[in-house]
């Protein structure tokens, strides 16, 4: 069962690993990312950040979609973390059971504008988010579980 899909450019770190995993009562974290699967240093760092007793799986986007759709992940209370809005869009488009998206944080660059404390989006990402909302996906901004979730359409 998918508990949450979250965009966070840092992927797995203290806030995600402990606050969200605990609040969701998740027993498995899936890092869905095309570059991390081939980066031993980043994988090692994430393995060290994961909470005890929680399974950590790192797969590329296509393999993540395949694993979820195959039913292999059904036995877990799954917390999925992606690095970007584009990756979230790929997962949502590939997995019918994902109906919501949590925006946690994205890097500020010269091409982005800030829409909340830690969310910075490009024009293309804004279009993606509007499209997801129009398709009925519940998209909210929420750094930590204790924060109030803000519907993304209120800040776009």
Q: Which of 145, 156, 139, 49 is nearest to 85 (CA)?
A: 139
**pLDDT tens-digit profile of 49-62?**
999 999 999 999 99
Token readout for 60 is 């590329």
Q: What is the per-residue pLDDT for 47?
A: 92
Residue 117's alpha-carbon distances to 5, 83, 107, 132, 136, in angstroms, are 19, 17, 11, 21, 25
Question: Which residue is it, tokens 């869905």?
Answer: 32
Q: What confidence category does residue 68 fall into, taking pLDDT thresholds of 50, 70 and 90?
A: very high
**pLDDT tens-digit profile of 119-138?**
999 999 999 999 999 999 99
CATH (domain of 81): 3.40.35.10
State how beta strands 100-105 and 2-8 pair.
parallel
Q: Report the percent of the chain where pLDDT is more than 70.
A: 100
Between 85-94 and 61-70, two packed helices, what is the crossing angle to 10 degrees? 30
CB-count burial class (<10 Å; 0-12, 13-18, 19+) for 29: buried
SS3 content of the chain, % helix, strand, coil (to 5): 40, 25, 40
Cβ pair 150, 116 in contact under 8 A: yes
Q: What confidence category does residue 17 fall into, taking pLDDT thresholds of 50, 70 and 90?
A: confident
Q: For the chain, how many structural domains are there in total?
A: 1
Residue range(s) defining the domain that contains residue 124: 2-154
User: Which 3 state secondary structure label does DSSP give 123?
Assistant: helix
Q: What is the pTM of this model?
A: 0.97
| Cβ-Cβ contacts under 8 Å for 1 (sequence gap 6 or more) | 74, 76, 77, 78
Mean per-residue pLDDT of the chain? 96
């Amino acid at each position: 069962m998918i508990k949450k899909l979250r965009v966070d450019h840092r992927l797995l770190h203290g806030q995600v690993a402990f606050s969200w995993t605990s609040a969701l009562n998740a027993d498995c974290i899936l890092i869905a990312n095309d570059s991390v699967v081939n980066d031993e240093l980043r994988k090692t760092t994430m393995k060290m950040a994961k909470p005890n007793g929680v399974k950590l799986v790192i797969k590329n986007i296509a393999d993540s979609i395949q694993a979820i759709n195959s039913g292999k992940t059904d036995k877990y209370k799954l917390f999925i973390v992606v690095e970007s809005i584009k990756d979230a869009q790929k997962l949502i488009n590939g997995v019918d059971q994902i109906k919501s998206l949590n925006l946690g944080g994205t890097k500020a660059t010269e091409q982005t504008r800030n829409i909340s404390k830690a969310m910075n989006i490009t024009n293309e990402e804004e279009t993606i988010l509007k499209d997801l909302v129009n398709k009925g996906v519940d998209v909210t901004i929420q750094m930590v579980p204790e924060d109030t979730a803000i519907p993304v359409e209120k800040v776009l």
